[in-house]
Amino acid sequence: MKKIQIVPMFKMEEMRKIFYEYLTELAEFDPDIKFNEKGIPVYNWFDCYWEDKDRFPFYFIVDNNIAGFALIRELSFMQYNFAEFYVRPEYRKNGNAIWFATELANLFDGEFVFSSKFTNPRAIKFWGKFANQFESNSFTDDDIWRNWTIRKNNFKTHTLNLNPIYFDLIKNQEKTLEGRLNDEKRKTFNVGDIITFYKEPTRAESMNAIILDKFIFKNFDEMSNNLNKSELGFANKTKEEMVHVYRTIYSKQDEEKYGVVVFKIKNLN
């Protein structure tokens, strides 16, 4: 029987011993791992997994035995990181490691990022195999690391064109709300999805943003009375001027027919 379980505080020291076992093995492939005068690996963030609300320690259990562990970090809304991952040598058969990583990923909605150094070819092979299970997966390389990104299959990527002024405001993290007509296209946009914005008129520049939340309104007047105009990209306009801008884009008839949707977004670039 295989399962995963969160590691409670009273088992922290038990897990620390296994964690040192892991670092000692990993040191063969990673010269950056250091040891103190007592031969104990140096790692400054272990206790944080019981102190910080955005960190999660897990055990991998096989037949009631501790087969490994994982340390998961929440980097931002719906984005997580396999900070550390270990399966003990005697349990590295029968697809245990892939099962463990997959079950952990299934606990969290959104995106996972993880990395491995090229000095550890076994890890490169494993994480590549794991990432390929997901329809949305990619990696980038630098001189030292391969860095993967995976997204759950139920999340989608959408495209929108954007006026250069508002494109730059999102790019600079000044605009975090994007208002649109709530037509049939926009009704398919959900929290966790990615929007790829293309800068008009040439569409030569683009950026990705994740949808953190969405708000529905009857019309642009209701929107203007409930949301911060600066976050919508209209810091220097009155509410009336802001609504007028939208109504130069959309007809009053369509506004009444579809209503308005506003996406709370975060630039990922």
> pLDDT digits over 41-93, tens only?
999 999 999 999 999 999 999 999 999 999 999 998 888 999 999 999 999 98
- Taking residue 161's Cβ as centre, other Cβ atoms within 10 Å add up to 12
Percent of the chain scored above 90 by pLDDT?
Answer: 85
> Please, what is the average pLDDT of the chain?
93
Residues 6+ apart with CB under 8 A from 66: 18, 59, 60, 88
> pLDDT digits over 206-247, tens only?
999 999 889 999 999 999 999 999 999 999 999 999 999 999
Position 153 pLDDT exceeds 80: no
Residues 84 and 70 sit within 8 Å (Cβ to Cβ) = yes
- 256 falls in which pLDDT band (50, 70, 90)? very high
> pLDDT digits over 161-194, tens only?
999 999 999 999 999 999 999 999 999 998 888 9
Q: What is the DSSP string of 95-137?
A: THHHHHHHHHHHHS-SEEEEEEETT-HHHHHHHHHHHTTSSEE
Give the pLDDT of residue 155. 74
Residues 166 and 185 sit within 8 Å (Cβ to Cβ) = no
- Taking residue 152's Cβ as centre, other Cβ atoms within 10 Å add up to 17
Enter the pTM of the model. Answer: 0.63
Q: Which domains does the chain have, with CATH numbers?
A: 2-151 (3.40.630.30), 157-267 (2.30.130.30)
Interatomic CA distance for residues 10 and 20, integer angstroms: 18
Tokens 């040439």 appear where? 202
- 110 falls in which pLDDT band (50, 70, 90)? confident
Is the backbone peptide bond immediately before 41 cis, with ω within 30 degrees of 0? no
